Every structure is written in C-alpha cells, then in structure tokens.
Amino acid sequence: MSETLFLTPGLPKAARYAELHPQVAALTVGEADRTANLANTAAALRQVFGFFWVGFYVVQGEELVLGPFQGPIACTRIRRGRGVCGTSWAEARTVLVPDVEAFPGHIACSSDSKSEIVVPIFKDGAVVAVLDVDSDKLNDFDQDDLVALEQLMGLAASWF
C-alpha cells in the first residue's frame, strides 16, 4: 500500500471523506498494530481537512487515556462523563459541539479550540476509545462529518 493519500482537488467535504475512507481501509487492513493504525488515521484526517487537533483517547479502567494524535499537546487523562470526550464515552454516542464555550464541562486543552466532534469506537457493544476532532473555527462540524467519522470509526473497531 502506498503511503500517499490521493484526493481530488476541490471536492466538497462529503466527497473528500468518501475518497479518504477506502484509502484508510487499505492503509490499515494489513497492519495488526492498533497504535500504528490510529496514528495514521489521525494523520490522514489532519492532512486532508486541516483540523486543529485530531486524536484518540483510549478507555483504560475509569479513564480515557491520550492515544495517537496530531496537533498541539493535550490533556492526558479524562474521567468518564467529563468533558466532551467523557460524555461521548458515558452516553455511547457521537457528541457534536458547535461552540465549546457553550458546552458545560468542556475541557479546554487549548483556548484555540472553538468547535469539536467526538465519535466513540465500539467493541462488542462497549465504547473502547473515542476519536476527538477539534477545530479553531466555530460551528465547523455538521452531519457530513458525523456520518463519515462514524463510518470511519466503524473501521477502527476492528483494531481493538
């Protein structure tokens, strides 16, 4: 598998996700190491969409622990139910936050983060990790992101 992403210039967001998905699948299908696959997925999302921060938090006991990511340094541990990530874990659903300052309990790893989407990864019905994507623009995520990132995290489930 080539380590280069091929994206048609100028495509709308949903189409870029559609082009990206099979490339992430091809990049990860022959690789058994979870860290390698999470790392390349975070890098691919940041490379294609230019998000401020893209990364994973992995469930360890009663906490989420920082996993592979792209972007500025971030908080390392988040308790269940805390912040956007901990809420996504506790409620086992994607949480889309148009304005982080309006989300009660949001954990500000960076004051530059303005909007955020967190998507859980499920294994045998339980949340095993979350994908966290932050933007430095308000209201930067919509249903296109939600649908495509949930599909991508369906793929990530096989890495756990």
- What are the residues facing 56 on neighbouring strands? 131
Q: Which stretch binds ligand SME (CB under 6 A): 5-13, 40-48, 104-112, 144-152?
A: 104-112
Other Cβ atoms within 10 Å of 105 Cβ, number: 10
Q: How far is the CB of 126 from ligand SME (least distance, A)?
A: 19
Q: How far is the CB of 18 from ligand SME (least distance, A)?
A: 26
Q: Helices 143-156 and 34-49: crossing angle, nearest 10°?
A: 160
- What are the residues facing 121 on neighbouring strands? 129
Does position 42 interact with ligand SME (CB under 6 A)? The reply is no
Q: Which stretch binds ligand SME (CB under 6 A): 3-11, 16-24, 30-38, 75-83?
A: 75-83
Contact yes or no for 56/129 (Cβ under 8 A): yes
The residue among 43, 47, 69 whose CA lies nearest residue 130 is 69
Does position 46 interact with ligand SME (CB under 6 A)? The reply is no
Phi, psi for 149 (deg, rounded to 5): -70, -35
Phi, psi for 47 (deg, rounded to 5): -65, -40
Does position 106 interact with ligand SME (CB under 6 A)? The reply is yes
Q: How far is the CB of 110 from ligand SME (least distance, A)?
A: 7
**Rounded CA separation 144/127 (Å):** 22
The residue from 134, 135, 149, 153 that contacts ligand SME (CB under 6 A) is 134
Q: How far is the CB of 137 from ligand SME (least distance, A)?
A: 14
Q: How far is the CB of 12 from ligand SME (least distance, A)?
A: 26
Binding site for ligand SME (CB under 6 A): 53, 74-75, 78, 83-86, 106-107, 109, 113, 116, 132, 134
